[in-house]
Chains A and B, each alone.
Chain A
Amino acid sequence: MTALLRYHAALLLRSQRWLPPLLLYAAFLGISVQAGQPVLDSLGYSAAALLPVAAWLARICVTGEPDAARGCVASAAGPARAHVACLLVALAGAAALGTVATLLVTLLSDPVASDHRTRVPLAPPAGPGCSPRWPAPCSARPSARSPAGRSFGRGDVPCRLCCWGRCCPWWPPALRRRRRCRAW
């Protein structure tokens, strides 16, 4: 498997087809994230943009190899393993990109919630943000609502949807508005 991963990683890096998604991601972050913006908003934007970029990378890895070359590798290692290796390389690429973006965005942004008053400790949003990117703003919620000090309750589901809404600009406005009514 190591040999397969190395082969596919070399194929991806040398083909330079990773450049367009990287540029797109950088451009999106450049437009949507500004220094001094609340950290959770910025992380939300960077997480939302990572999803299509990861999908694009996966597509590049899977389709980057000509059919005949793919056949040679598949007969040597088995088609399933060859395919899994493609996807793992794409996943690793997206994870690396996400980690770098999270660190940059966390350093550039203000450690405050969207109301610009509540302080947000940096470790919780950046930590989980590095691996499974999109739950980052949600997992930061406990610190934001810590004054209320209540456990997970009925109102949490809409709140979670709200914080997703913050990540996704295309979320219905009704849901995005709800964030005002709860802990934040």
Chain B
Amino acid sequence: MRPDLCLQNAGRRYGLRGPWVLRGVDLTVAPGRLVRVEGANGSGKSTLLRLLAGIDAPSEGRITGRPRTAYVPERFPPALPFTASGYLTHLGTVHGLSRRAAARAAGEWLERLGAAAYAETPMARLSKGSSQKVAVAQALLAEPELLVLDEAWTGLDTDARAELERAVAERTVAGGSVVFVDHDPRRLAGLPDATYAVRDGSLVRRASREPSPSGPQVTVEAQGPPDGRLPEAAHRTATSAEETAPGRYRLTVPAPHSDVLLRTLLTAHPPWHVVSVSQREDTSGSLR
């Protein structure tokens, strides 16, 4: 079991005498946690994320328990002299994969994000959204233990946004931690284990389950063995589980977690039978 990533009284300022952007930040990110960071523009969210990602060292305080980390910046410049798959292969090897594994993972992730057609396109010719997909793919291809997303959804199309949400759900279920910033309150709504706000250079924890709108939900009906108990992992993923008949459950799960729940049910021993899957209308507005 890897240790938690801990920020102890961490502070950051740019330059020796610059003003403090962040000060006295205490934060613990345990494995498997999804953490949301909020704050106004220029409040220091990105600085906090750069500290978490290990790109910058804190000017005071310390960070312990650094896991294998990947970072997705908000804007990814295409001014790199590589093709998309060439760049991803290089980054995969930097993340510790072999060249062959990196090339394979690069192809898979580009396909999942809907950019497989641009795999051999030079990055200088990619659109903003496509290069953002490359940035997301480079972070996900090595299955990092800590994923830091700085407004990574900006510029992605609807399908890629949903795919990234599912990827985040997969990472947290697989024991990785994810820290993200996004200005859309419906992003991964209802899922974060903790929400923090950066205000006046310090980090404030928001009361858990404060009025955050719940995102789109998926209802799954599953049939197990007559005296079967729901697998423990499925209990953790689902927001509600209701036994309608002996061994038959109706589970409600946030949409990004639906694939994870289905995978849990179908790979359980003995495997469960999925009777139906239906998407409930989002209670807080349109589905993004």
Binding partners A and B? yes
Instruction: Judge whether A72 and B93 touch: CB under 8 Å.
Output: no
Nearest neighbor of B90 in chain A, beta-carbon distance: A7
Q: Is the CB of B73 within 8 A of A72?
A: yes
A68 CA / B74 CA spacing, docked (Å): 8
Q: Inside 8 A of B186's CB, which chain A residues have their CB?
A: none
Contact indicator per residue, chain B 65-105, by CB within 8 Å of chain A (1) or not (0): 00011111111110111100000001101111000000000
- Interfacial residues of chain A within 45-86, with CB under 8 A of chain B in the complex: 65-69, 71-79
A169 to chain B, nearest CB (A): 37
Q: List 27 A-B contacts (CB under 8 A).
A: A3-B90, A3-B93, A3-B96, A4-B94, A6-B93, A7-B93, A10-B90, A11-B80, A14-B81, A14-B82, A66-B77, A66-B79, A68-B73, A68-B76, A68-B77, A69-B77, A72-B71, A72-B135, A72-B138, A73-B94, A74-B53, A74-B55, A74-B71, A76-B68, A76-B95, A76-B142, A79-B57
Interface size (A, Cβ < 8 Å)? 23
A15 within 8 A of B: yes
Tell me the minimal C-beta distance from B12 to chain A in angstroms. Answer: 14
Of listed B75, B77, B94, residue having the most chain A CB within 10 A: B94
Q: Which residues of chain A are near B23, meaning CB under 8 Å?
A: none
Closest to A74 in B: B55
A75-B80 in contact (CB<8A): no
Contact of A71 among B53, B82, B144 (CB under 8 A): B53
Residue of A nearest to B87 (CB): A69
Which B residues, 170 to 210, have Cβ-Cβ distances below 8 Å to chain A? none
CA distance A71 to B122 in the complex (A): 21
Q: Which of A3, A4, A71, A77 contacts B73 (CB 8 A)?
A: A71
Chain A 76-100 interface mask (CB, 8 Å, partner B; 1/0)? 1111000000000000000000000
Known: A71-B71, A79-B55. 17 other contacts (CB 8 A): A3-B94, A7-B93, A10-B90, A11-B81, A11-B82, A66-B80, A68-B73, A68-B76, A68-B77, A68-B135, A69-B80, A72-B139, A73-B91, A74-B53, A75-B71, A76-B69, A76-B70
A105-B95 Cα distance, complex, nearest whole Å: 42
A79 touches B54 (CB 8 A): yes
A 1-26 to B, binary, CB cutoff 8 A, 1 in contact else 0: 00110110011001110000000000
Residues A92-139 near B (CB distance < 8 A): none
Residue in A closest to B71 when the chains form the complex, CB atoms: A75
Q: Which residues of B contact A67 (CB under 8 A)?
A: 77
B28-80 with Cβ < 8 A to chain A: 50, 53-57, 68-77, 79-80
- A74 pairs with B94, CB closer than 8 A: no
Known A68-B135, A71-B73, A75-B70; contact A7-B94, beta-carbon cutoff 8 A: yes
